[in-house]
Structure 1
Amino acid sequence: MPVSHARRRPVHLAAAALPALALLVSGCATDGTADPDDPDEESLTIYSGRGEELVDPLLDQLEEETGYDISVRYGDTAELAAQLLEEGDRTDADLFYGQDAGALGALANEGMLAELPEDITAEVPEEFRASDDTWVGLSGRSRVIAYDPDQVDTPPDRVLDVAGEEYAGEVAIAPTNASFQAFVTALRVIEGEDATEQWLRDLQDNDVQLYDNNRSMLDALEDGEISLSLNNHYYWYERVKEDPDSVTSELHYLPDGDAGALVNIAGAGVLAPSASEDAALEALEYLLTADAQEYFTDETSEYPVVEGTPTLDELPDLDDLEQPDIDLGDLHALDETLELLEEVGLV
């Protein structure tokens, strides 16, 4: 069962099948060598927790720019990180592209990510890169409350308040989504374990509405099924770009450093066991170029992380967001967050 190097045949990892797939994929992984039809062409294997529909065009650009034969495995960020930890030194992955800082931090803590050179880390502001220089952010997204102004005049300024009785049955979350789990991890860091557990239990008792992802929550919001949803900002802006007349909901950016205003990153690191470290570093350099950073502005409505890159005109300036003072590297304890969500009964 060989895995093709062809860019247009990505491998997707289903959540329920992770343990079996981890063994299966590690047994049939590519070995990091070049395409046998072109022995002078170097290969690069990327494990991407970012969705194919979001970043595949960008990775096409990367392949064209570098000339490398690029193979991509798409899957859930946390599950790919778990697979990499299981594969260890046997992995064929060269670059890990994660949806959030937590998974990157988990890999770094286990020694799976190589230290990056200063010419790469210096491109990214300190708050959006690892303190040990093992990963860098590539784009940013803010947590927001999306709301129906016909049902809610003024959304709460504290995310803990969405569990109030006045919002019974009206709040949506996506507890199996990596971005929500990273947010809950941040809440544990900022508000503490007890307060976070109580908030989750209050949501459960308050008939919180559960959805699979950000898009389905926004669908429910526009259909009047709910009045508040806890989202990443860029899904709403993408909807506005696609069909502005259909969007009646609005966004609320929480003030005063509330955990609900977390600005997380999608980022990448080079796998320490990589047989193609130079190629992986070159790929990372490309993802920080103006062309790649502008892709995040134009195509995904995210915040670019390299200073000087223009952002979407409609977005509030990144410097104006009152995000919490938190080291994104502290979001690595995703296993404990998942255990808490399971204990409360939300997953």
Structure 2
Amino acid sequence: MNFKALIAGFGVLSAVAIGITACSPGGSDEVNIYSSRNEGLIKPLLDEFTAETGIRVNLLTGSGDGLLSRLLNEGRNSPADLFLTVDAGALHRAKEADLFQPVRSATLDNAIPEHLRDTDRLWYGLSMRARPVFFAIDRVDPSEITDYMSLADPKWRGRICVRSSDNVYNQSMVAAMIAHYGVEETETWARGLVANFARNPVGGDREQIHAVASGICDIAIANTYYFGGMMQSTDATNLDTVSKVAIAWPNAEHGVHVNVSGIGLLRHARNVDHAVKLMDFLASVEAQTWYAEVNSEYPANPNAPWSETLRAWGDFIADDLPMSELGDNNAAAVRLMDRAGWR
């Protein structure tokens, strides 16, 4: 893979408006993929796959929920061979809808650790997304942030920002805590966390980080790749924020909560061999390295190096909870967050 050319090509691709490409009905030298990932973050890799194999990739992008509904409506008539989406909770919903079929690939099994893939081999993680704590450099001692449970301490009253409970990233984080601590202890924690909110949840992860920089709150929970995007931006507001905010890794107990973006082979896929070949390619060291460089996500393949940005943030202990448990506990997490008043 021409890694340097891919990085350079991304700069050109991201500078133009990118539309949605429709999938074709299927053919012997192609593979069709539905993806909730931004096209600029996946298309260069798909083009490289085509260059190496001669297999054309037809891509359709959209929201994860929208594509899931489309797949359900299309049923066996869907042209899609693969579904790529973000968060283990979203992958679990696709699994529960019986959209996937198991994949037997020694390449995938060797590249992706067991806890980052479905227990039934119905989907595989492609990148890890860490969800630590961001803090105001001038107002917070990061040694106070030992683990997620510590965020319920009354000393943080009126000092925490986080997005709403309908966000699947937060649902998966609470699902992980249920796996570690049980429903009762996690609900007590959630009530304490809500009591410490600086404001009612509003906006996405970037808005939480900006709120720390502007003094609305002192700490926030967010995914690191948003921070990476802000660091790579030329926007003055983003650069001002990253100069005032840093990452605290809550390594005690079970480590830092991580989630995955992942991919599954669809039950009614017509181009199975090509689809599995593409899955193998996306799990390769070269493809994983590109992901880390461009989107500041951690490679799911442990043999792929971290980018310079990721290394600069420092090492951390990642929670090795099986990703399948995030989906299994999702419904319980949503109910718990509602009872705790997390809106």
Is the Cα–Cα contact under 8 Å of residues 105 and 330 in structure 1 kept in the other structure? no
Q: Match of 1:294? A: 289
TM-score after normalising by structure 1: 0.79
1:196 corresponds to 2:192: no
Question: How far off is 1:178 after superposition?
Answer: 2.4
TM-score after normalising by structure 2: 0.80
How large is the RMSD of aligned CA atoms in angstroms?
3.1
Q: Match of 1:15? A: none
Is the Cα–Cα contact under 8 Å of residues 148 and 227 in structure 1 kept in the other structure? yes
- Secondary structure (helix, strand or coil) at the match of 1:242 reads coil
With over 3 angstroms needed to count, the CA separation of the structure-2 counterparts of 1:30 and 1:292, relative to structure 1, is: closer
1:180-230 per-position Cα deviation (integer Å, ceiling 9, x unaligned)? 221111112112112222222223333343133211111212222211011
Question: How far off is 1:152 after superposition?
Answer: 0.9
1:161 corresponds to 2:157: no
Question: How far off is 1:144 after superposition?
Answer: 0.8
In 2, the alpha carbon distance for the partners of 1:268 and 1:319 equals 28
1:100 corresponds to 2:87: yes
1:233 corresponds to 2:224: yes
1:212 corresponds to 2:203: yes
1:281 corresponds to 2:276: yes
Percent sequence identity over matched residues?
25
1:267 corresponds to 2:262: yes
Is the Cα–Cα contact under 8 Å of residues 128 and 265 in structure 1 kept in the other structure? yes
Choose the corresponding residue for 1:32, options 25, 28, 41: 25
1:222 corresponds to 2:213: yes
Q: Match of 2:162? A: 173
In 2, the alpha carbon distance for the partners of 1:211 and 1:178 equals 15
Q: Match of 1:17? A: none
Question: How far off is 1:52 after superposition?
Answer: 4.0
Question: How far off is 1:271 after superposition?
Answer: 0.8
Q: Match of 1:249? A: 245
Q: Match of 2:4? A: none
In 1, the alpha carbon distance for the partners of 2:288 and 2:58 equals 20
Q: Match of 2:3? A: none
Q: Match of 1:335? A: 331
> What aligned pairs does 1:79-118 form with structure 2 within 5 A after superposition?
80-81=67-68, 84=71, 88-118=75-105
The count of aligned residue pairs is 316
In 2, the alpha carbon distance for the partners of 1:240 and 1:317 equals 12
Is the Cα–Cα contact under 8 Å of residues 84 and 91 in structure 1 kept in the other structure? yes
With over 3 angstroms needed to count, the CA separation of the structure-2 counterparts of 1:341 and 1:53, relative to structure 1, is: farther
Choose the corresponding residue for 2:319, options 321, 324, 327: 324
1:146-201 per-position Cα deviation (integer Å, ceiling 9, x unaligned)? 10021112342121221222222221112233222211111121121122222222
Q: Match of 1:306? A: 301
Q: Match of 2:6? A: none
Q: Which ranges of structure 2 fall in alignment gaps of 5 or more residues? A: 1-16
1:134 corresponds to 2:122: yes
The amino acid across from 1:33 in the alignment is G
Is the Cα–Cα contact under 8 Å of residues 124 and 137 in structure 1 kept in the other structure? yes
1:50 corresponds to 2:43: no
Question: How far off is 1:137 after superposition?
Answer: 1.3
Is the Cα–Cα contact under 8 Å of residues 93 and 271 in structure 1 kept in the other structure? yes
The amino acid across from 2:20 in the alignment is P
- Secondary structure (helix, strand or coil) at the match of 1:311 reads coil
Is the Cα–Cα contact under 8 Å of residues 135 and 248 in structure 2 kept in the other structure? yes
With over 3 angstroms needed to count, the CA separation of the structure-2 counterparts of 1:44 and 1:196, relative to structure 1, is: same
Is the Cα–Cα contact under 8 Å of residues 44 and 279 in structure 1 kept in the other structure? no
The amino acid across from 2:94 in the alignment is L
Is the Cα–Cα contact under 8 Å of residues 31 and 275 in structure 2 kept in the other structure? no
Q: Which ranges of structure 1 fall in alignment gaps of 5 or more residues? A: 1-6, 12-28, 35-39
Question: How far off is 1:130 after superposition?
Answer: 2.1
Question: How far off is 1:99 after superposition?
Answer: 0.9
Question: How far off is 1:240 after superposition?
Answer: 2.5
The amino acid across from 2:252 in the alignment is D
The amino acid across from 1:281 in the alignment is V
In 2, the alpha carbon distance for the partners of 1:320 and 1:136 equals 24
- Secondary structure (helix, strand or coil) at the match of 1:139 reads strand
Question: How far off is 1:30 after superposition?
Answer: 6.5
Deviates further, 318-327 or 191-200:
318-327
With over 3 angstroms needed to count, the CA separation of the structure-2 counterparts of 1:49 and 1:138, relative to structure 1, is: same
The amino acid across from 1:227 in the alignment is D
Choose the corresponding residue for 2:342, options 318, 322, 346: 346
